[in-house]
A and B are shown apart, each in its own frame.
Chain A
Amino acid sequence: MTTFSLNDIFVQVFNDLFSYIDINHKFMCEVPSSSLNSTEEVNTLVGISGDMEGNVMFGYTDKTARTIASKLLGTDKIDDIDIYVKSALADFYSEFCKQFTYKLKVETAFNVSSGEKKYILLSSNPTYISGEDMFGAISKVPSKKLFFKVDGEKFGIAYSLEQK
C-alpha cells in the first residue's frame, strides 16, 4: 500500500522540467478519466514496464511543440516540425519519464507500508504521434488525465499505470 500520489509526482516533475527550460507553466486540474482519450494536435507516448506497467501520453499543441523545441535547440523560431525537432521533443519527454520513474522508485522505497522494495521501472523510447481527427486508447481501463497550461496553451498528461 503506497502513501503517495502519482499525480503529485507528475506535477513535481512537470514543474522541475518546465522551470529548467524556462517556459511559463501551471498545473490546472485533473479531469475525469476515460478509456478513449481524445488526443491533442501533437502527442508523445512513452511505455512504462517492470513492477508497474502502463503508458504515459503527453498531448500538446503545435505551438507548444515549437516553443519547447526552440528552447531545447537554442533557436528563436522553429519553421518546420522536422526529424530534429521530433527527436528533441522525444528526448525531452524521455527525460520527463526518467525523472518520473526515478522519483517513483525513491518514493516507493520510503513509503511502502509493507517494507522497502527495490522497484524495477523501465521506460521505452518516446514515440511522436500526430494526425487529423485522432483518437487514442492507452489502456483498456480508464486512464487519468492532468491538465496544465504551458505558455498560455493547453497541455495534457494522460496516464494509465497499474502495479503488477
Chain B
Amino acid sequence: MEDSTEVAVNKFDVLFNLAKKSFEEIMVEVTGEAIDAQPEFSIAPEDRLSLSIIIGLSGNTNGRILLNTSVEYGQNIAVAMNFGDPLDNEDDLHVYLAEFANMFCGRAATHINNEFGKREIWISPPAIFSAKDLDIITPNVSSVRAYYECPLGKFIVDMGFSENSYDDF
C-alpha cells in the first residue's frame, strides 16, 4: 500500500509531465518545430536581461509555474507569434508573452483537469517580470524543472508544488 508521501510524489510527477507536454505542444504551434526536454543548462545572467513568467496554481494542488528565459528569447517568441513581423512597440512584448503563457497554462490546466476527471487546479493570470539579477523564490514549494533549447532560444519550465494549502480558513 502506497503511503501518502509516495502518492503525493506520483501526483506531482503526473502534473509536471502534463505541464511539459503542454509547453511542448504550444511551442510546436508557435514555432512549427517539435521540441524535447534536454539536459540541464543555465541561461547566463551576466549578459542577458532575465525574464520570468509566473502563473499561480491553486485548488487541490497549490504551487506555481515559472517559465524562465531572457528578454531576447522572449522577444523571439513574441515575433514568432506575430507571424515573423517585428513588434510595433516594446510594451507589446508583455502582451504577447502573457498570451503565450495563457496558452501554455490554459492547456496545462485542461490536460490536468481531464486527467483527474475534476477541477484539480485553478490557474491565475500570468505575471511577467524582467530585471538584471532577477531573483524569484517561492518559499515552501518543492520544484522540478525541464530545460528546452530550440531555434527561438533557451527556456526553463519550473513547476513548484506545496503540500500545504494556502486557501484554508
- Listed in ascending order, the chain A residues whose CB lies under 8 Å from chain B are 35-36, 39, 45-50, 53-55, 57, 83, 86-87, 90-91, 94, 97-98, 101-102, 122-140, 160
Contacts and interface: CB of A to CB of B under 8 A. Distances in A.
B90 to A, nearest CB: 10
A97 B165 CA distance: 13
B139 A124 contact: no
Interface stretch (B31-39, B48-56, B78-86, B149-157): B48-56
Contact of B167 (A45, A55, A123, A128): A123
Contacts, number: 143
Interface residues of B, number: 39
Secondary structure call for the A interface: strand
B9 interface: no
B1 interface: no
Contact of B129 (A123, A124, A129, A139): A129
Contacts of B20: none
B135 interface: yes
Secondary structure call for the B interface: strand
Contacts of B141: 125
Given A86-B139, A122-B58, A130-B131, 20 more contacts: A45-B127, A48-B124, A49-B122, A49-B123, A49-B124, A53-B124, A57-B127, A90-B140, A98-B166, A123-B58, A123-B166, A124-B56, A125-B56, A125-B141, A129-B135, A131-B50, A132-B131, A136-B128, A137-B127, A140-B99
Interface of B: 50, 54-59, 62-64, 91, 94-95, 98-99, 122-125, 127-141, 160, 162, 166-167, 169
Nearest to B123: A49
A62 to B, nearest CB: 12
A98 B169 contact: yes
B125 A50 contact: no
Contact of A87 (B54, B59, B125, B139): B139
A129 B127 CA distance: 11
